Chains A and B, each alone.
Chain A
Amino acid sequence: MLKVIFTVPEKWSIIWNRIMTELQIIGINSIPIVALMSAFMGGVIALQTASNMTTPLLPDYTVGYITQSSTILEFSPTIISLILAGKVGSNIASEIGTMRVTEQIDALEIMGVNSLNFLVLPKIISAVLFFPILVIFSMALSMLGGWLALMVSDLTTTETYVLGIRSFFNPFHITYALIKTVCFGFLIVSISSYYGYYVKGGSLDVGKASTQAVVSSSVAILISNFILTQMLLL
């Protein structure tokens, strides 16, 4: 399947237009849910860390540091990718699955169009390009959410929180997070496309394929997260 997807397109101008459309569907349309999730996630991480800071041996800026490191290392790349597996993955599987059961993919093939290349390649390119942007956006919003939660609860000062955010900052962690995100984006789109493209039956089967796509993408994300962490961080 991947070999057919990554063949040279018949017309780049058409693929370019499709990439623009997919950037809108996969990327831009995901901004609200990513923003909402990230802000609340950051707030909860900061509050939970602050509520567990019972020992005076730990400096106050630890709250900011933990929020920063857990957001950059795990929550933004992995949890946001899991959320996107649900939103984008089910959307892709149901879209392509519906095209399959209504013979639209057959129609493309009959015309001589490489349907896998035409349908899936723009989605993969869009996800691989835009998911890292979403994750960087999520990191920023998460830390902002953490700050806001701490300010509202009066648990620390802005200076202390910012000091924690900047403490022990390792730029490679950003690279690591982005590498993970690119891999997760590729996995989500290719797995979901696979389930949609090879669906057989009717609308009920499209629903099943959509669920299966989300489950399989999520499992693939968790396994690849473990492998990538082993390879890149240790």
Chain B
Amino acid sequence: MIEVRNINKSFTGTKVLLDISTIFEKGKINLIIGQSGHGKSVLAKCMVGLHEADSGHVIYDGRDFTTMSRIERSQVRKEIGMLFQGAALFDSLNVEENVGFPLVMFTNLSKKEIRKRVDFCLERVDLSGKNSLLPSECSGGMQKRIGIARAISMNPKYLFCDEPNSGLDPKTAIRIDGLIQDITREYDMTTVVITHDMNSVIEIGENVIFIHEGQKWWQGDRKSIITTKNPEISSFVYASEFMKEIRQNIQNARS
């Protein structure tokens, strides 16, 4: 479980996060949604320490991350896996080296054991046998899956995914969502997904936090987000003509 308490963050005088408090539950997919530029990525980066919050606390299973030293944070970070928006694979390393990187850095496993673990992680994301490819030789969807394989290679307790579906076709996006869902359940992780993709919200949103103008505007699950009367959320959820049509159909059916 990750608890966020009264997080505030501003950049050069502009307040980006305003007193955000919430709980990201273990074994669930926690979605942070909201419009671009409203602070969801900043919140996630404050949670993992890539940005320092101006005030507030981030607590990982009772451990206050915000008051930790650099070395103590490194220990917590070894329990965190993160999938970046652009996958952030190391250009000079091949798929196997990318996935095995945390194992080489932080474990004393033999080369054979690392290879075995890498093969397992790659198999988990349906990329068996792609060990020797370079990131530049992989498609966007493959890069995301390699990113997931790297993120789970150390059996993390916490998984962060920053817009895992951006730039992917709908079919691949659903596949990535399914993969995140399966992995979360399999390893009983606390998963935090930042997205503005409504398909993901409907597919995997067990605990959805809506961020609007730097504030936590709403929290609920995928069912309640469809029926909420909150105008800001409605305008976000039903932004597309397609979704508006669905809402109309639902209303017609009810009446």
Contacts and interface: CB of A to CB of B under 8 A. Distances in A.
Interface of A: 4, 10-11, 14, 98, 102-104, 106-107, 109-114
Contacts of B49: 109
B91 A111 contact: no
B105 A113 contact: yes
Contact of B77 (A4, A104, A109): A109
Interface in B61-92: 70, 73-78, 80-82, 84-86, 88-91
Contacts of B56: none
B48 A110 contact: yes
A104 B85 CA distance: 11
Contact of B82 (A4, A98, A107, A113): A107
A109 B90 CA distance: 13
A110 B91 contact: no
A110 B80 CA distance: 7
B236 interface: no
Given A14-B105, A106-B50, A112 B84 contact: no
B95 to A, nearest CB: 15
A114 B105 contact: no
A103 B84 contact: yes
A111 B84 contact: no
A4 B50 CA distance: 16
20 contacts: A4-B70, A10-B105, A11-B104, A14-B104, A98-B91, A104-B88, A104-B89, A104-B90, A104-B91, A107-B82, A107-B90, A109-B77, A110-B77, A110-B81, A111-B102, A111-B105, A111-B154, A112-B74, A113-B74, A113-B105
Lowest 4 A-B CB distances belong to which pairs? A112-B77, A103-B88, A112-B74, A107-B88
B74 A102 contact: no
Given A10-B105, A10-B106, A111 B90 contact: no
Given A109-B77, A110-B48, A110-B50, A102 B88 contact: yes
Contacts of A109: 49-50, 77
A106 B84 contact: yes
A183 to B, nearest CB: 29
A148 B161 CA distance: 63
Interface string B89-113: 1110000000001101110000000
Nearest to B80: A110
A102 B49 CA distance: 18
A111 B88 contact: no
A99 B91 CA distance: 9
A103 B48 CA distance: 14
B216 to A, nearest CB: 23
